[in-house]
Structure 1
């Protein structure tokens, strides 16, 4: 069965917000990556390179995650667009089924595809305006 986690979007305040959340909930970030450390680094300004591409903060059995929306990528965060539900299926087949189901009557933001972080990923808004991310972490080859 898929796992659900909230995924927040900020206009350049992810690091500040997540340091605050960490001070409230405790723990350590399980992942933190800046845009300058991604394959997109050559396409962005030095300022955008310092912004957060992805951060994860485990809280109990769940994980709070976030990113900075980049104006240079045409992204803009407004109330209602600042949160996604991130679905983490157990298999590629489940990921495809969930993505296909949620996208019916909705708007696909990014088609389900292989990513540089080793996942099958896609994002969309369903027909009710709820934002979703489907992220199947592929098994690591040894």
Structure 2
């Protein structure tokens, strides 16, 4: 089943600043912060030393709503209009696959749907209307911290 949908803000190296800003400005509760430096090593995506403290994912709670923040991958440009994406979370890999397939019709796959260190099925797709979706599967046994 779909667990939720929420905004996902992307910055260029200002993720920690954004977390602190929203924590103060809208009383956001910080549930989790992960940096690029905490990611498992991947020779295809070497993280420059100066970017290891950049945010790969921050999960905040504003009231009853989830709010996510990350920095763009070091060296990857961030075009105007791509600072906010929609994150959709399910608790079923097969449903994640179906939703991902539906959204990619007449759209563009930005990141293949695959297992990651935080999800058994995660991918990014830009739909036919130009909206970027981050689709992830969260299994109850996973920890948010």
Q: Is TM more than 0.5 here? A: yes
Alpha-carbon shift at residue 61 of structure 1 (Å): 2.2
Q: Secondary structure at the match of 2:21?
A: helix
Q: Deviations over 1:89-139 (max 9, x none)?
A: 131222111111111000001111111113310101001100001001134
| Secondary structure, aligned partner of 1:99 | helix
Aligned pairs for 1:57-96 (under 5 A) are: 57-72=60-75, 75-96=76-97
Structure 2: any 5+ residue segments left out of the alignment?
Answer: none
**Shift in Å, 1:52:** 0.8
Question: Residues of 2 paired with 1:115 and 1:135: CA distance?
Answer: 10
Residue of structure 2 in register with 1:137 after alignment? 138
Count of residue pairs brought into register by the alignment: 139
In the superposition, relative to structure 1, how do residues 90 and 68 fare at CA in structure 2: closer, same or farther (>3 Å)? same
Please tell me whether residue 98 in structure 1 is matched to residue 99 in structure 2: yes
CA RMSD of aligned residues (A): 1.8
Render the CA deviation track for 1:34-82: whole Å, top value 9, x for unaligned.
111111477222211011111011112221101111343xx21122111
Spell out the pairing of 1:104-119 with structure 2 (5 A cutoff): 104-119=105-120
SS at match of 2:121: strand
Unmatched runs of 5 consecutive residues or more in structure 1: none
**Misfit runs of 4+, over 3 Å:** none
- In the alignment, the residues of structure 2 paired with residue 12 and residue 22 of structure 1 have an alpha-carbon distance, to the nearest angstrom, of 18
C-alpha distance in structure 2 between counterparts of 1:131 and 1:103, whole Å: 10
Query: What TM-score does the superposition give when structure 2 sets the normalisation length?
Result: 0.87
Counterpart pick for 1:48 among 22, 27, 51 = 51
